[in-house]
Amino acid sequence: MKLLFVADPLHTFKTYKDSTFAMMREAARRGHTLLACEPRQLVWQRGGRVTARGAVEIRLTGDAHDWYTVTATADVALADAGAVLMRKDPPFDPEFFYATHLLSQAEREGARVFNKPGALREHPEKLAILEFPEFIAPTLVTRDPAEIRAFHAEHRDIILKPLDGMGGMGIFRVKDDGLNLGAIIETLNRDGAQTVMVQRFLPAIADGDKRILVIGGRPVPHCLARIPQGGEVRGNLAAGGKGVARPLTARDREIAEALGPILAARGLLLVGLDVIGEHVTEINVTSPTCFQEITDQSGFDVAKMFVDALEETLK
């Protein structure tokens, strides 16, 4: 089967930890043909179909640095691929949004796209948690600085973050003394022009911000706890957090088994739930990661579970 990966440039992959690479490696092991393109290569013209201009067919070399060779280059109609995997990293900016519309058109032409592009649009990673209030901490979404100040007055220790951030970018903690709250609001809120998410600070972050992967509606049995280092409040690996694989707790399973089937039914084959303590903080759907870290530390083959689920869905 031909699998087309819509992703960041191949030369930027850090193969020792890249989850898309892990998917590719497992798919190649099973004999699938690997194709790749970037979102900017997606083209549609009246009378034709959504096409990846100059998509490359690649073969994995097994080398850690020169990890692939291009065996062919061609224009590929997405509907002619066995499956299209949208693996472009965040942020979910206007170009990502436009790419999902091209992918939706490709679906109308017969393409099978994972995660489903309509579901990507309907589940912004910060705001998707609002649907599940029973699993989240006290949370506020607003443009109004007065609302943020009132939330801080009630909860005393809070986290503020932009809705379009990734990798821990732009996250601030304000403690009981309210130090720099005004400046932080101005930075994130931009004089009322930008919506901000505010959450009660969860002390359990000291034990890690857990990434729980859910594949085909079922949780991977181990999560990756991303533990803040050096006085940081952020556990994100991109912010210097230390990743430690752990078996899911009973609460982790409760959350994953409640949300997983709902999200899978909407076309989200792969989801990354971020959990601190007993609370969901984000629902990641664009390009969830941590496959290799979990596999390397726990021995559970996440990529195998993913490709199993993909093949089952395509039957």
Taking only the tens of pLDDT, the chain with its 315 residues reads 999 999 999 999 999 999 999 999 999 999 999 999 999 999 999 999 999 999 999 999 999 889 999 999 999 999 999 999 999 998 889 999 999 999 999 999 999 999 999 999 999 999 999 999 999 999 999 999 999 999 999 999 999 999 987 777 889 999 999 999 999 999 999 988 999 999 999 999 999 999 999 999 999 999 999 999 877 777 777 768 899 999 999 999 999 999 999 999 999 999 999 999 999 999 999 999 999 999 999 999 999 999 999 999 999
The one catalytic residue in 234, 236, 252, 293 is 234
Active site annotation includes 180: no
The one catalytic residue in 25, 88, 116, 126 is 126
Which two structure tokens, joined as six digits, stand for 227? 């533990």
219 with 295, same domain: the answer is yes
Residue 57: inside a domain, yes or no?
yes
Active site annotation includes 274: yes
Active site annotation includes 282: yes
18 with 105, same domain: the answer is yes
155 with 103, same domain: the answer is no
Active site annotation includes 226: yes
Residue at which a domain ends, from 152, 175, 201: 201
CATH of the domain at 88: 3.40.50.20
Residue 122: inside a domain, yes or no?
no
pLDDT at res. 137: 97
Residue 104: inside a domain, yes or no?
yes
209 with 309, same domain: the answer is yes
193 with 214, same domain: the answer is no
73 with 60, same domain: the answer is yes
CATH of the domain at 224: 3.30.470.20
Residue 120: inside a domain, yes or no?
no
The one catalytic residue in 161, 200, 236, 252 is 161
Total number of domains constituting the chain: 3
Q: Domain containing 32: what range?
A: 2-115
Active site annotation includes 108: no
148 with 92, same domain: the answer is no
Which two structure tokens, joined as six digits, stand for 60? 């994995």
pLDDT at res. 168: 75
Active site annotation includes 234: yes
> For residues 117 and 55, what is the distance between their CA atoms, to the nearest angstrom?
20
The one catalytic residue in 87, 200, 210, 211 is 211
> For residues 114 and 72, what is the distance between their CA atoms, to the nearest angstrom?
24
The one catalytic residue in 116, 226, 236, 293 is 226
The one catalytic residue in 18, 252, 274, 293 is 274
CATH of the domain at 144: 3.30.1490.20
pLDDT at res. 197: 97
Active site annotation includes 149: no
Residue 238: inside a domain, yes or no?
yes
197 with 208, same domain: the answer is no
Predicted TM-score (pTM) of the model is 0.94
310 with 211, same domain: the answer is yes
pLDDT at res. 91: 85
Active site annotation includes 87: no
221 with 279, same domain: the answer is yes
Which two structure tokens, joined as six digits, stand for 101? 């519309």
The one catalytic residue in 115, 189, 236, 284 is 284
